[in-house]
Amino acid sequence: MKIEKFVEWFTRLPLMWGFSSKLTVDINQAQILYKKHQFYLLIFKTWLSLTFLILIWYNIKNILPSISKGRIIFDKFPLTVMLIVLILGIVVVSFWNFLHSRFSPIEKWKLENLLRNFTEEANILAQHDDSFNFTKSVKWIYSASKQKIAITLKTGGHVSFMMEQDIARRLLGFLIKETNDIWILEDNSIINGSIKMIFSHNADERLVIDDISKLKKSKMVSIPLTKQLSWDIKRQPQLGIFGKTASGKTSLIKAITISFLANNKNNQLMLIDGKASFLAQSGIFAKIPTATTAEECLKLLDDAIEIMNHRYAEMNHDLADESDVTYIEKFPNSGTVLIACDELLALASATQASDKMKKPADRLMPQISDRILSLIVKSRQASIAILISGQAFPASLLGDSIVRSNLGMIVNLGRTTQVQSQELFSINLKDLPQVDSSNYEGIIWLDGLNWETPKIFYSPYYDDKKLPFKATLQELTEAQGGGLPQA
């Protein structure tokens, strides 16, 4: 046991920067404090005894001269030395305690103190009995770098599942309370009694879209959404953006469409606007294929499916080809197609009234829904991305589970309701992070990043004054030749 404690202590030394530190907590803070006081008391008694013995030994030679001269001869030098030793000892101990406090400049030692205190405050060793017969313990494994702080708690099997689920949130709150640092919970997971948490001190930041020249260029679609998050088409081919009026949804769509066209000169955009509002006006102004009615929408989607089928035919032309890649990877100069479908529910409400007067086979809205669903499910490998947006998720039109499972990026701006949390993220509202809806924040889920829960999303700010949307859309479309890839 003592060897294990020594090994753990050694892993927490600063010279072990590149390795994980280990800390077993098996006694409470009162016991730690008591043992520390007992140790300091022992050291002081030892110092006092040594000082007394050294003084006697050093001054024994002065006994006879003191008797003969009739006055006490006392050499204070050893006392001075021992007092200096005592003061230095107090300074060293104080400095050691400071370095192991929550104010420590050494991240490892700061974490050691914080994790010990959190174990106590969170009552992880509930009903603890430090006796020979029954001792509970938990083990912390942690590492720190400039980018992230990885912390794992091995609960020892005596912590309830409900408590395990709440540890990450409570630890985040504790770290924020106890320090002056910024703490961001990047990720957490629970596997076989081990709670793995990733923290950072680097808060995410909102992007400002105000200059085309600053936007990222690449063959593959990889568009920054915030300082830390990006839309990667390989991981998140289909997108869902939802939010009430004035939640920042339009600004986010502007940022994505402009960044998408600026990303690659061969990228192409298609627009569906169920309200025939600003997005539709912009598309028509920039001569981008735009649909505002059911008939136009159906034709646009048929064109998109024709492009998809043509792309698959190109990819499968050589049946002996073993490569399993996307269209843009196989033909890097072809570009990606983005179909932005905004306010489908508004389009449906306008279309379904006229559909009632038609035969079932002639009704347009079911055909539109089928085509959108087909594109969502099949278009990923053809490098065609679908963006579904609106005030609410159109489950009544597209179904729920199939579409939801194929949306690699889901953003809900503004306040999230219990229904939305289940419908969009399949999670309880209380388990979502809290956002500031007055600051155009929201919740985001990005597939393929091993996230356990969605994160806070800081929607980009699109600066219309510096980058007028319609004019910029027209400029990018004209620079790229306009139109769509030929089927």
DSSP states of 334-403: S--EEEEEE-HHHHHHHHHHHHTTS-GGG-HHHHHHHHHHHHHHH-TTTTEEEEEEESS--HHHH-SHHH
Alpha-carbon dihedral sign for residues 283, 287, 288, 292:
positive
In three-state secondary structure terms, 313 is helix
**Residue 328 burial (C-beta neighbours within 10 Å; 0-12, 13-18, 19+):** buried
The residue extents of the domains of the chain are 2-125+133-200, 208-479
Residues of the chain with pLDDT under 70: 1, 16-18, 126-135, 400, 480-487
* Pairwise CA distance, residues 387 & 455, whole Å: 20
Please enumerate in sequence order all residues whose Cβ is within 8 A of that of 34, keeping only pairs 6 or more positions apart, or say none. Answer: none
pLDDT of residue 485: 43
Identify whether the C-beta of residue 204 lies closer than 8 Å to the C-beta of residue 226: yes
Under a CB-based contact definition with an 8 Å cutoff, are residues 251 and 459 in contact? yes
Q: Are 241 and 308 in contact (CB under 8 A)?
A: no
CA dist 6 and 18 (Å) reads 18
- Annotated binding residues, written as ranges, equal 243-250
pLDDT at 481: 57
441-446 and 455-458 as β-strands: parallel, antiparallel, unpaired? antiparallel
Written as six digits, the tokens of 238 are 């289909």
CATH classification of 208-479, choosing from 3.40.10.10, 3.40.50.300, 3.40.50.800, 1.20.1300.10? Answer: 3.40.50.300
Q: What is the pLDDT of residue 487?
A: 37
Cα–Cα dist 118/175, whole Å: 9
Residues annotated within a binding site for ATP: 243-250
Q: What's the pLDDT score for residue 337? A: 95
Give the pLDDT confidence score for residue 248 in this predicted structure.
87
Q: Do residues 228 and 400 touch, judged by C-beta distance below 8 A?
A: no
